[in-house]
Structures are given as C-alpha cells and as structure tokens.
A and B are shown apart, each in its own frame.
Chain A
C-alpha cells in the first residue's frame, strides 16, 4: 500500500467506525491485523465495502447473505476470517 496517500488510509480507518457494534469489533480487529498488508485491489474493494449499509455489510461478514458482487467476495472472505 506504499503508493496510497496516507491521509486516505486515515480516512478509511475512520470510516471503519460503524453504527453496529458487531462491525466495529470485526473491523477493529482487521485494522489491527491484516489491513496494512492489503494489495491495492483489496484496498479498493474494502473501500467499496465501507459504502455498504451496516446491516448488509454485517450479513456478508457473518455469512448470513451471499456476496453477489465478485469484486467484494475476496475482501469479505478476509473480513470473515478476522
């Protein structure tokens, strides 16, 4: 992630604060462990996840709903393991 604007990284970290506690916990773990190793493509996908509504996002992360967007499937897999 060396090419990314550090401000953008900080913005993404803040946007990982959510309205649902369950997501806060999963994303906090991920930010502490895994986030820094993302590829550019994974980071772009994570940014897209942050645009999701909290309930949809949590359903994906919990495996309650199937991820139909192929762009998101891989990063959601990483978050599920977080």
Chain B
C-alpha cells in the first residue's frame, strides 16, 4: 500500500504552548514547518493554566534568578537537573518580556511594568521569605499565551494541520528520526510526514488516572509513540496530585473550602483527619491530606457503591456562609457532583494534575538516550518540549507556575536546536525507511479486523481504576506490586480492543482506541517505575520507605517498553555557571 508523503523541514506534533513556541522559532528562521494537532491549537490544554508564569523580574519585590533556581531545585526534591533548572530560571525574565512584546496582555502595575503575584513555594534568598514572582493575565494566562503564540505563528507562515493525530515515530536503521505517520481525521487517511527534524510537544497523560484534572485530549500520544519506537521514558513514577477533586469528574475543589471550615468524612461518618493529624486536622499539608484520604479508601472506609471516595462536608457552615464565601464551589458541586453542599457532602478524591516525567531531553530540547557508555546520547533529528518532555526541571515535584515557563523556555530552546541541526547537519532529508508506515497501518488494520475483542471504554476504565488504586498518592510495596501485575493484564486486553464503527471519516471511536494504545504504555511505565523506587521523594511517597535516600536513589529512572525493563542515569549536579545546590531536608 502506498502512503502519501508530505515533506517539511520540521514537523511539530502538538499545538499547545511548547509546540507553538518551537514552531515560531523555526518558521521565523525561514524553515518550512508543520504543526500537527488533534484539536484547534488555541483549544490545547495549555488553556487550563491559570496560575501564571514565573520569572524573577523583580517588579514588585527584589528577586533574582538564583532564588528562583533554588526554589525549583528544592521543589524538585533534588531530582531536577541543575543545568536545565539554571537554564530555565535564567531565561525566564527574557521569555516573559518576549511574550509581552508579542502582545500578551499581562496584568500591570501602575508604573506600567508587569504585575507579579505571590504563589506557594516562591521565596527570596533561598527560602527566607515569600516573593511575588508569578506573572499573569488575569486567570487566563494559558489562554492568553496560546492566542499570542498562534497569531505569531500565522504571521510567520507556520502550516497548521488541525484535527490530525500523529500515530508513530519513524526512525531509520541508524535510529535517527526522519518523520512521523499521522491520521487525517477528516478523511481517515494515513500520511507520512517526512522531516529533517521532529519535535514532540504532545502534553501530559493525566487521563491514565480515574481521577484527573486533565482534559480528555491528554492521552500521552507522544509517550506512546516513543515507547513503540524504542525510546525510553524518564521518571514516570512522579505525578502531581491535588487532594480534593470531585470524585468521578476530576474538577478541583479549592483548598479554601477546608480553610472555611469544610471537613472530610469517611463511610462511617468519622472525621478521619483527627486521627492522622490531631492538631492540623483537615488543614494538614496537601500531600498529607491526600494520602490520608486514600488510606481510608484502601482500608475499606471509602464511600459510595465502589467505596472509592470520601466526603467533603460543608452543610454545617450554613447556607449563608456557603452562598457568600463559596459560591463557585456550590456551583461546581451541583454541576459536577450532582449535590448541593448546603444539604449534602461533596464526594472527593485525590486527583492527578501534572506529569513530571516524560521523554528524556537535555536543556537544548534534544532527546537523549543511553548508548554504550554515554547515558545521554542524542537521538538525531528528535526533540521534545513541554509536559511530555523531561528536561528535567521539575524532578520529583513541580513548583507552581513553572509549567508555563517550561513551555516557552524549552519550546524556544528546542526550536533553536532544530534550526541549528537542520542548517548545519541536515541540509537534505535522510531517506525514509521502506517500511516507514508499516506499524501504523498494522495498528489500524488490527482495529478494523478485530472480532470478539474488548470494548475501548471498558478497558480504559479498567486501566484508570488500576492506576488510581495502585499508583496514586498512597504507595506501598504490596500495592505497587499488585498494580504491576494488574496493569500488565490490562495491557493484554488493550491488544484486543475493538471498535464497532469502522468508517473512515471523523471516526472518533478509532481515535479513542488509538489514544488508549498510547495511554496504556504510560500506565505500565508508571506502575513499573513506581514499584522499583524504594524511597520517598517529592510526589512519590512510599509508605514502606518513608525517607529520601540520596545515596541510592538520587537518579533518574528510564523505562523501556519493549521488554518493560528499567535502567537509571545520574541527576545532573553541575549547573551551568553557579555552584551546585546540595540536598537538604525539604521542610517548609
């Protein structure tokens, strides 16, 4: 079967903040650049980022990039690579001012400079006192960023392929990346995108969890493609959680609700936080509350038919306080939990928010994998940026407002690296391998021909329940080992998923099946990586190994999908220009 081929200097998969920032760099350099996106670019999940983007502009209070770096290293629980962290924090002011010059409508001070708001974990002088570092465009920072970058890309003649889903990475015999295959949803046809360089900016994969704040499009497509192409995934055990998302929906209930006097109850009506944290009770730190909630569920004291959530009770505050101080929350509860908190408690569960791990890259956005003695050999022609990449600046836990910063700094850096690579090393396209589209065509053909198979929704639900039960915030050896077994059973079922609708044009059932094939790779990587890490660090809190163990475990996990094995590589302890920030106990 002949598959049509389209040729570009650079192909970018993903039209969110990172993909569009990289595309701009390439298009403005005069290179022919394509961006493939499942949805219209301004409806990428970047739109959900509200908090802001951090940069040590010092517009409100004295600030320095070195302090931002310290906060990020500490936030990462010393798993972040300090060269990449220095790079990001040093570049942050320039990146924000550049967005401002692009026309992004930041909130301003009276003197006309960008306003900066306070945010958890942002400090002056290495933890001494809070500092206002977050730049925002009201509560629509991600939205403003997407629109700004989209407009610039249109001006720079970036070619957008909207409603196209990338299917597989194309590597030649040398292992170099020479393109991707992609499905045009409008026609159902598969194309080859032949490129001198490919960048993945495919976002997170939070949909592996039953409880997730991520939009439905966040299915880890880039990660699935990497696993199938023999590229390892880094630090997949680290996922950031919020304690109180609406059970079954994922929509967040702010911590302010507990601040106003909301309390958590188990199935017996017990205020269980009194047992775990006698002093702070429901106002204990976020991760502690989340782990206590999950322990209640695991010990059979969860609520509901599946005993899989706890209750957030507000009615004792009285209707007036709820209406006055928590109107938005009442609305969310009614709409997404189907309960009015004036009368009934809200079902809540710790909810996945952000993926710290991903495709291994360096601060230049180049994908790097072990080869011989070199733990970080460049994969020629392959780049990644944004949530799908692991640079690693977030390490074991991401600092708030560093995600938008990551998108623009590493999007641009990867774009620059690609321009350099194409100009200096790849004046012509490398030939496509003969079987370039084989894997993708086989996947689609299997879906079309499968009989007596498994239902996509059922298998996806089984995967999400397993990951939620075994690898959410409460982790112990027994539970993780059980999870590894269970998720591999689910992976076997994914091999037999079936779709009823075999039509070609805008077949969303097919797209969802292909997405599930990506999600499951991420889910298996998460369980296997988490099961192996015998320590507690950042978001990986292990009940049987409660201390951070720098001696043994200050290293990055690498997961290979072909034989589901793990290797490790060292954390970068040498920043670019400043002294190493040595590990300390992480107290706040």
Interface residues of A (CB under 8 A from B): 7, 10-11, 13-15, 17-22, 24-26, 28, 53-55, 62-63
Pair B217/A19 contact, Cβ less than 8 Å: yes
Q: Which of B253-261, B313-321, B501-509 contacts A (4 or more CB under 8 A)?
A: B501-509
From 233 to 258 in chain B, residues with beta carbon under 8 angstroms from any chain A beta carbon are 249-251
**Is B48 part of the binding interface, using a Cβ–Cβ cutoff of 8 Å?**
yes
Residues of the A chain whose Cβ atoms lie less than 8 Å from the Cβ of B185: 14
Please tell me which one of the listed residues A10, A17, A25, A63 contacts residue B39 in the complex, with CB atoms under 8 A apart. A17
B17: shortest Cβ distance to chain A, in Å? Answer: 11
Contact present for B505 and A19 (CB under 8 Å): no
Question: Is there contact, CB below 8 Å, between A19 and B43?
Answer: yes
Q: Are B335 and A26 in contact (CB under 8 A)?
A: yes
Give CA–CA (A25, B214) in the complex, Å.
11
Q: Is B56 an interface residue (CB 8 A)?
A: no
CB distance from A33 to the nearest CB of B (A): 14
B376 located at the interface, meaning its Cβ lies under 8 Å from any Cβ of chain A in the complex:
no
Nearest first, the 10 closest Cβ-Cβ pairs linking A and B are: A10-B506, A19-B47, A19-B43, A24-B216, A54-B47, A21-B215, A19-B45, A7-B505, A11-B506, A55-B143
Give the distance to chain B from A16, nearest Cβ to Cβ, in Å. Answer: 10
The answer to whether A19 and B215 touch (CB under 8 A), given A25-B249, A25-B251, A25-B336, is yes
User: In this complex, what residue of B is CB-closest to A18?
Assistant: B43
| Bound Cα distance from A14 to B39, whole angstroms | 9
Residues of A close to B331: CB separation below 8 A: 62-63
The answer for the CA separation of A62 and B251 in the assembled complex, in Å, is 13
Contact indicator A21/B508 (Cβ below 8 Å): no
A27 to chain B, nearest CB (A): 10
Bound-state CA distance A53–B214 (Å) is 17
Candidate in B43, B44, B140, B336 with the most chain A CB atoms within 10 angstroms: B43
Which of A7, A22, A63 lies in contact with B336, CB distance below 8 A? A22
Within 8 A of A (CB), among B550-583: none
Minimum Cβ distance to chain B for residue A56 (Å):
9
- The residue among B163, B216, B251 with the most chain A CB atoms within 10 A of its own CB is B216
Query: Which residue of chain B is the closest to A12 with respect to CB atoms?
Result: B506
Report how far A5 CA is from B84 CA in the complex, Å: 51
Q: Does residue B123 face the partner (Cβ distance < 8 Å to A)?
A: no
